[in-house]
Amino acid sequence: MKKFCLKRVVESVIVLILISFFSFGVIELAPGDISSMYISPTMTEEEKQATIEKLGLDRSMGERYVEWFKGVLQGDFGVSLSNKRPVAEQFAEKLPATILLMSVSLALSLVISIPLGLIAGLKKNTIIDRIINLIAYIGVSIPSFWLAMVMIIVFSLKLRLLPSSGMHTIGVDSAWDTIKHLIMPAFTLCIGNLATFTRYIRSNTIGQLEEEYVLTAKSKGTSKGKILFRHVLKNCLLPIITLIGMRLASLVVGSFIIESIFGWPGLGTLGMSAIQSRDYPMIMAYTMLSGTILVLGNFLADILYAFADPRIKQGMGEAHGR
Amino acid sequence: MEDKAIKINTSNVLPDDAFEDVVKEKQPAGTSYDRGLWYDICRSFKENKVALVCLIILIIIAIASLLAPLSPYDPDAIDATQKLLPPSKEHWFGTDDFGRDYFTRALYGGRVSLTVGLASMICTTIIGTLIGTFSGYKGGKLDMVLMRFTDIFLALPSFLLMVVLNTLFSPGMVTLIAVLSLFSWASVARITRAETMSLKQKDFVLAAKSMGASHTEIIFKHIIPNMSASIIVAGSLGVAGAILTESSLSFLGLGVQLPQSSWGSMLQLAQKYILDRPSMAVFPGLLILFTVLSFNIIGDVLRNALEPKMIK
Amino acid sequence: MKKLISLLLTAAMLASFALTGCGSGSTETTTAEGGQTTEETTQEETSSDDKKVFVYPADQDVSNLLPSSGGSDSVAVMYKPLYDPLYIINNAETRYYLVDKLEVSDDGLNIKLHFNENAKWHDGEPVTVDDLLFTLKYFTEGATKTSTTYTKINGEDVVYEKVDDYNVNITLPSYLSKFVTTLGRLCIYPEHVFNGDVTTVETSDAAMQGIGNGPFKLKEWNKGENIIYEKNTDYYRGEAKIDELIMKIIPDSSAKEVAFQSGEVSCLRISSKEKYEKYSADENYEIYDTPECRVNYFTCNPVSSKITSKEAREAIFYAINLDEIMDTVYGSDIMSQPGKTVFCDQNLYFAKEMENYPYDLEKAKELAKESGLDQVTLKYIYNNQRVGMPEVAIVIQQQLKAAGINVELQAMDSPSFFSMFFQWTSGDASTEWDLGTNGWDSLQGDPSTQIVMYATNPQVTNCSQETIDMINAAIAEPNEELREQKFLEFQQLIQDDFTIYPISCPNYVWVTQKGVTGLDTINSMVPFEDWTLIDVA
């Protein structure tokens, strides 16, 4: 077990370092001269030179990478080019809103998908199963931004039930208000997960129902409900945990499109504007952060899996969590 | 990520005896294999009406897109007097804010969306299969290095990087296809590697080896053809994913150049008029939904029909 | 079977959890609109009843509240209510803000400013000449060294001489016509707040507090969501009519419109004739339009390898049908006036009588053939984040196609567009594009702020030497009449050069909720120059 953990730690670190190369390299390889975006026509030669020096563009790529990476290790992602404030500080500001949105959408998808998946598995190949299956298919096939647009029209404009954007009504500071603002973005974001989770649970339920222990329990006269909740559901949770591990990154980094459409004041909106204004330190931090969390999520999922299921020790772990 | 979930779903669409048939069909591997594959595909469509419907939808959309030039309208011709007309007999989907026929544009948009989807699927499959097969076949250190490399690609925040790359490099069809392929080959590589690992232990491969077949011969003549079922499945799901991602990128304005359009960029334009002319958003949205849905369902049905082969 | 039913019920309960949430949420909203639900909402309703609140839909949040924190309109609109300019000159009048007296000597070399003695910073300190001097020092010695526009003319220093706290004498080394206009737009920084230290302005806490001198002061800043400004009751030009001004951040344009229709925001900028017609027909809304003081223009890259002759440029210009562009893109002259000259009608020296290039397809075809343009494909770049630019590009592409000129469009976002279009500012001009559209803004008052830089640089425009000489003479001409004459001649000369095709002078068209007034009382590029005039019913 220890060996397995250690192996995964080493792997994760290597992947992280490579991600840092990637985050840094993408920007460096971009066509066009970075400095030209910060030099205005009215500047004198000296001012131009000073700007280039300040951006560190007079030094080699290697030097800049080392310096950047040192900072990253200490949690210092540099200073945003467009507003000169520390990147980490700006991320910290937006993090709570994104975490709130993402965890609610994750919870929502679990709450909906567990019963759906159980029912589908239990009633496999019936009309109910088919309907649930179709819903799941639609869930993975629908463009989420389109769904968001449609929802805004229906719920905000036509029915006037829900606010179209933001997180609070100005001047109102109640939980209800926030919940109302949360419903549409959280639902839009949960659709994809919902579909995946439902199918996962369904197939697991089918698998579990055919396991010997279930048959034994059945023959002993244990009620079907008990079997479902005690055994089947318990065994389904494990893969779900893995899935959640993989979704951790999206949980923190957010979804730019959905956040922007709903004007949610989170990391997604921040990232989108960073990309549009070519705020390189910000973009680098953004890719680095999401990569780190993704790796961390996978790592945790693997470890959890290995703990829960002792059959997976060496090597086998690879089959999971990806 | 989507494919993973779907993969685990060992659905029960097939009757129990289907499995036996399939096993029988499989012998002997190699030469007569192709007929069996097509036989299975046709059979699964015959048995699954939903899949058949999906296939028909896709065929209709594909043919309509191919025949787009037959439309009496020029997709780019501007007519200020015909702006934003509602759907009518002359203009089935109405017109857009340049007075261009929306139906014709949707057809041309379909060409772009389908081309991007198919082309990036083909690139993805080729790269993924080559890396996966090579890695699985060679094994050892090379396998480890290649698989770590694959892991990195799986661990990257792909959509974010696609947006970044598409922004930094001038957007266009080629950029789109390249970027989409760059971030999706890894899962194909994983699947094909696992298959290669099991296939290379098989009797027919060992037999070919003992008869003096070269490595290239074994890989291309024996291993890859025997994985075609998985590759077809991965491809079908890959197209679905690619079309969906393309629509998101185009929606952000990172798609093909104007006046060309894809369904995604039509939605970007429609967003401007969504309150006054929701139909402009409905048509491309539904086209994306139906296309992606069809590819997903077909991919899944094919998996259920073809994959039992691979288990034994 | 029973068990199964109970299971289904449980499942249904779980599944409907979210739906119940929706359901009760909705009742809450509807009743809240009626104004009589929970205590919280009732309180809010009553307190906002006697308070006049204006909600502006903003594109993006800002990172600090310094007056020069960003150049784009969507950033400038956020700090404008906090900071007043010195004065504003446009073609009709001079409007005084922090400065209440402006004297310019006959030769234009001496400028005397007198600061309004009642003007105070939001913390009660008076606005003085020291703040102006601090601001200039910040521009030249601060961490970013943003600009020397105010301190140097042709490389020589402009001398600022403090007479007393409220009077300053400015001496120019040589005459420059735009100087007075530009100086007036300056928003100054409070010296005492930054302790006189120019190096830490951006990083200090004060950068976030927005201590300005305008009609509104910062009340609350919910980052990423909104900025709430409240009326400055100690304002030197008389209190604003509204009590609270809220900048609500809604990045998405259709979300903005939804918010407007549901009454969450007070105004909305519209950019199409269809929307204009829709809202003007609805009596729940009012419509205002003000000139944006911008000229959107089309140009050929002078260093392009494909457009090498004047004939080629003429071919392109004759192929452009401006009427069709206006019809398709803007639909009506309420949205935008067609371009006439390189200046707009809000400028000083605007040549009213001039006509734009004529549309002559046959001539264009002929010239295109002669100059070999029908053999190549031209690359047209445009900024897809600017209103109307993609549409103009699409129309021009089709028009040039009709003249046998093939054009390939390349959409770019603002940063990459500017870095390619203005590559000449950091070295050699880019040869990667052939055609492009851009806009000149801040064209109130003296128009030479930008035009000189463009017109005189052969990497940027194809101006003849005569044109260049004329504009240089015009900006250095202290005599008002002669100067006007030269500017008028310049407009004709640059037209004859076939280098810049003025496309449009767009308007800001606003729809507001019924009862909002004051949006049309001032012509202003950035909404709005004078927030005190805006009122809600």
Question: For residue C33, what pLDDT is reported?
Answer: 36
Average pLDDT (A135-146) is 88
- A46 pLDDT band, cuts 50/70/90, is low
Q: Does some domain include residue A213?
A: yes
Residue C116's pLDDT band, with cuts at 50, 70 and 90, is very high
Residue of chain B minimizing CA distance to C416: B168
A22 touching B, CB under 8 A?
yes
Q: Are C202 and C143 in contact (CB under 8 A)?
A: yes
Neighbours of C, requiring at least 3 CB pairs below 8 Å, are: A, B
Return the residue matching tokens 């400015």: C170
Q: Subunits with at least 3 CB pairs below 8 A relative to chain B?
A: A, C
Mark yes or no for CB contact A33/C419 under 8 Å.
yes
- The answer to whether the CB atoms of B80 and C254 lie below 8 A apart is no
* Sign of the Cα pseudo-torsion (C281, C283, C284, C288, in order): positive
CATH number where A293 lies: 1.10.3720.10
Backbone angles phi, psi at C352, to 5 degrees: -60, -40
From first CA to last CA, the distance across chain C in angstroms is 64
Q: Which of C227, C426, C456 to mutate to test the interface with A (most CBs of A within 10 A)?
A: C426
The residue among C161, C168, C136, C160 whose CA lies nearest residue C149 is C136
The structure tokens listed for C21 are: 């949430």
Roughly what angle, to the nearest 10 degrees, separates helices B224-251 and B102-138? Answer: 140
Residue range C30-39, pLDDT digits in tens: 333 333 333 3
Count CB neighbours of A17 within 10 A. 12
B28-73 confidence digits (pLDDT tens): 444 444 556 777 778 778 878 888 899 999 999 999 999 988 888 8
Give C326's Cβ-side CA count (13 Å radius): 18
Separation of alpha carbons C161 and C175, rounded Å:
18
pLDDT for C524 beyond 70:
no
Which tokens hold the place of C155? 């490389």
What was the pLDDT predicted at B27?
41
Structural domain of residue A117, as residue ranges?
87-321
3-state secondary structure of C178: coil
**d(CA B32, nearest CA chain A) in Å:** 32
How far C163 CA lies from chain B's nearest CA (Å)? Answer: 52
Maximum Cα interatomic distance, chain C, rounded to a whole number of Å: 101
- What pLDDT was estimated at residue A35? 64
pLDDT at A288: 86
CA distance A25 to A31: 12
DSSP 8-state assignment for residue C112: E
> What's residue C17's pLDDT?
39
Contact across the interface for B98 and C411, Cβ inside 8 Å = no
B271 touches chain C (CB under 8 A): yes
Distance CA C336, CA C330 (A): 6
Q: What is the pLDDT confidence band of residue C383, given thresholds at 50, 70 and 90?
A: confident
Contact status, residue A115 vs residue C10, Cβ threshold 8 Å: yes
Mutation target vs A (from C2, C14, C202; most A CBs, 10 A cutoff): C14
The domain spans of chain B are: 39-71+90-310
Asked if C116 and C165 touch (Cβ cutoff 8 Å), the reply is: no
Tokens 């089709």 sit at which residue? C398
C338 touches B at CB < 8 Å = no
Q: Which amino acid is at B277?
A: R
Establish if B13 touches chain C: CB-CB under 8 angstroms: no
Query: C-chain residues within 8 Å CB-CB of A97?
Result: 224
Helix axes A267-276, A233-253, angle to 10 degrees: 40
- If pLDDT is split at 50, 70 and 90, which confidence band does A313 have? very low
Task: Give me the helices (H) in C50-178, please.
Answer: 73-79, 129-141
Q: Which residues in C149-235 belong to E strands, given as ranges?
A: 152-153, 156-157, 159-162, 167-171, 216-222, 226-231
Which residue do the tokens 């479902």 mark? Answer: A228
What's the rounded Cα separation, in Å, for the pair C54 and B266? Answer: 34
Whole-angstrom CA distances from B259 to A103, C397, C504 are 40, 9, 21
Domain assignment present for residue A66? The answer is no
Q: Looking at the partner chain, which of C261, C398, C412 has a beta carbon nearest the beta carbon of B78? A: C398
Q: How many domains does chain A have?
A: 1
Gap between the Cα atoms of C524 and C294, Å rounded: 10
- pLDDT bracket for residue C327 (50, 70, 90): confident
Q: C199: how many CB neighbours lie within 10 A of its CB?
A: 12
CA distances from A187 to A145, A196, A245, B122 (A): 12, 14, 20, 33
Judging contacts by C-beta atoms under 8 Å, the chain A residues touching residue B252 are 257
Mean pLDDT of chain B: 80
Mutation target to probe the A interface, by most A beta carbons within 10 A, among B49, B151, B160 is B160
SS (H, E, C) A181-222: HHHHHHHHHHHHHHHHHHHHHHHHHHHHHCCHHHHHHHHCCC
Average pLDDT over residues C246-275: 86
Segment A79-132, tens digit of pLDDT: 777 767 788 888 888 888 888 998 899 889 888 988 888 888 888 888 888 888
A149: nearest CB among B13, B244, B281? B281
CA angle A212, A216, A220 (to 5 degrees): 170
Q: Say yes or no to pLDDT of C46 above 60.
A: no
C115 three-state secondary structure: strand
Over residues B107-166, the pLDDT tens digits come to: 999 999 999 999 999 999 999 999 999 888 888 888 888 887 887 787 777 888 888 888
ipTM of the complex: 0.80
Note whether C413 contacts B271, CB cutoff 8 Å. no
> Which chain C residues are closer than 8 Å to B78 by Cβ?
324, 328, 394-395, 398
Provide the terminal-to-terminal Cα distance of chain A, rounded to the nearest Å: 20
Instruction: Name the percent of chain A lying above pLDDT 70.
Output: 83
From residue C488, how far is each of C447, C479, C494 by CA, in Å?
12, 14, 10
* Helix spans in chain B (H): 2-8, 18-26, 33-47, 49-66, 102-138, 140-155, 158-168, 173-182, 185-199, 203-210, 215-217, 224-251, 263-272, 279-306, 308-311
**CA–CA distances in Å: residue B129 to residues A195, A215, B173, B226, B230:** 28, 41, 23, 12, 10
Structure tokens at B217: 């011969």
pLDDT tens track for A50-78: 667 766 667 777 888 888 888 888 888 88
| Closest by CA position to C15, among listed A128, A174, A76, A278 | A128
* A299 part of a folded domain: yes
Confirm if A212 and A127 have CB atoms less than 8 A apart.
no
- B66 and chain C: CB distance < 8 Å anywhere? no
Q: Is there a contact between B274 and C412 if contact means CB atoms under 8 Å apart?
A: no
pLDDT in tens, A218-241: 777 777 777 777 777 777 777 777
User: C228 pairs with which residues across the strands?
Assistant: C220, C246
Per-residue pLDDT at A310: 55
Q: In CATH, what class is B39-71+90-310?
A: mainly alpha
- Any bridge partners for residue C141, and if so which? none
Output the pTM of the full model: 0.80
Q: What phi and psi, each to the nearest 5 degrees, are found at residue C41?
A: -65, -40
Q: How many CB pairs under 8 A join A and C?
A: 191
Pair A300, A251: CB distance under 8 Å? no
> Pick from A22, A137, A146: which is nearest to B297 by CB?
A137
Position C12 pLDDT exceeds 60 = no
Q: Cβ distance C438 to C296 under 8 Å?
A: yes
Task: Check pLDDT > 50 for residue A255.
Answer: yes
- Classify the C-alpha dihedral B131-B134-B136-B142 as positive or negative: negative
- Phi, psi (degrees; rounded to nearest 5) at A142: -85, 135
The shortest CB-CB distance from C25 to any of A36, A183, A228 is to A183
How far off is chain B from C398, nearest CA to CA, in Å? 7
β-partners of residue C220 are C228
All residues at 6 or more sequence positions from A49 whose CB lies less than 8 Å from its CB, including other chains: none
CA B222 from chain center: how many Å? 24
d(CA C505, CA C490): 19
Residues A46 and A68: their CA atoms lie apart, in Å, by 26
Could you write out the DSSP letters of every residue in C220-265? Answer: EEETTTEEEEEE-TT-TT---S-SEEEEEE--SHHHHHHHHHTTSS
Q: Three-state SS across C296-327? A: EEEEECCCCCCCCCHHHHHHHHHHCCHHHHHH
What CA–CA distances, in Å, run from C230 to A59, B188, C95, C457, C534? 47, 58, 24, 46, 14
Considering the domain boundaries, does residue A120 fall inside one?
yes
Question: What gap in Å lies between CA C122 and CA C213, rounded to an integer?
Answer: 6
pLDDT at C229: 94
Which run of H or E residues covers position A307? helix A280-308
Query: If you count residue pairs, one on A and one on B, with CB atoms under 8 Å apart, how many are there?
Result: 133
Q: How confident is the model at residue C147 (pLDDT cuts 50, 70, 90)?
A: low
Beta-carbon-side half-sphere exposure of residue C241 (alpha carbons within 13 Å): 14
- Tell me the pairing of strands C94-96 and C99-104: unpaired
